[in-house]
Amino acid sequence: MSIRIMIIDQQAEFRSLLMHHVTSHWPDATITAYDPTVAGHLPDEFSGAGNDVILLGDRHGEDRAGIDVLQRFVARKAFPPIIYFGTEVDEEAVRKLAPDAFFARERLTHGALMKRLDEALNSGRQLASTQSLFVGDMRTGTHPLIKGYRVLEKLGATESSGIFLAERESSGQKVVLKVLRQTPARDDTTGSFDRFLQEYET
């Protein structure tokens, strides 16, 4: 089973721990580890697209609380399942926001995490996150995750898109992908896409 998981947390040791849990169960999993204190906070329009599950830690630097990030994520339609890792003190407030699962960082066990990950992967919600055309946000500091492709490197960028060298997973063929920077705002249903098409035609 090939799954795509994004881990978001400031603490490198905790990100590594989660990666170890995931890869010991799914060796072929594609994992994006994201440190918001290094790469910058994810923008408000971040959709989680291309990920099957988001593993969201509570540590995002001194200027942002993890629970605030969780609140933004759960409010978005078609967002992938979220498993949140925080402290026991925050548990009641976190559960009111209804992530797919909550774990106290200090009491995380492999068996319990794998059970919750299986449930999240089987929920069917992750499919919605990969069906949108607008799958990348180049300001996140990570390559976009695009179903069926493995992004190798960023080649460049234009006003409305990023350009990437990628490999088609089914054949290994190398291709160049042009990806919209972000999901257009509600009041810009055609502007971003029109610019994207104009760039393609030129």
- Which of the listed residues 130, 159, 175 is the one where a domain comes to its end? 130
The residue segments making up the domain with residue 197 are 138-201
Q: What average pLDDT score do residues 150-179 get?
A: 81
How many whole angstroms separate alpha carbon 65 and alpha carbon 58?
7
More confident residue, 189 or 155: 155
142 and 122 share one domain: no
More confident residue, 200 or 195: 195
> Which pLDDT score, from 0 to 100, does residue 187 have?
47
Cα-flanking dihedrals φ and ψ of residue 160, to 5°?
Answer: -115, 0
124 and 143 share one domain: no
Residue 94, amino acid: V
49 and 108 share one domain: yes
178 and 110 share one domain: no
In this predicted model, what pLDDT tens digit does every residue of 141-150 receive, in sequence order?
455 566 677 7
In this predicted model, what pLDDT tens digit does every residue of 96-139 receive, in sequence order?
999 999 999 989 999 999 999 999 888 755 443 333 333 344 34
CATH number of residue 176's parent domain: 3.30.200
> Which pLDDT score, from 0 to 100, does residue 192 have?
56
How high is the mean pLDDT of the chain?
A: 79
How many whole angstroms separate alpha carbon 29 and alpha carbon 5?
7
CATH number of residue 118's parent domain: 3.40.50.2300
> Which pLDDT score, from 0 to 100, does residue 135 have?
39
In this predicted model, what pLDDT tens digit does every residue of 3-46 receive, in sequence order?
889 999 999 999 999 999 999 998 888 899 999 888 888 887 78
Is the pLDDT reported for residue 189 higher than 70? no
pTM higher than 0.75: no
Contact 9, 15 (CB under 8 A): yes
The tally of domains found in the chain comes to 2
145 and 126 share one domain: no
Contact 186, 150 (CB under 8 A): no
Q: Give 59's DSSP letter.
A: B
86 and 157 share one domain: no
Distance, C-alpha 183 to centroid of its chain: 14
Shortest CA distance to 56 belongs to which of 78, 40, 80, 75? 80
Distance, C-alpha 197 to centroid of its chain: 26
55 and 29 share one domain: yes
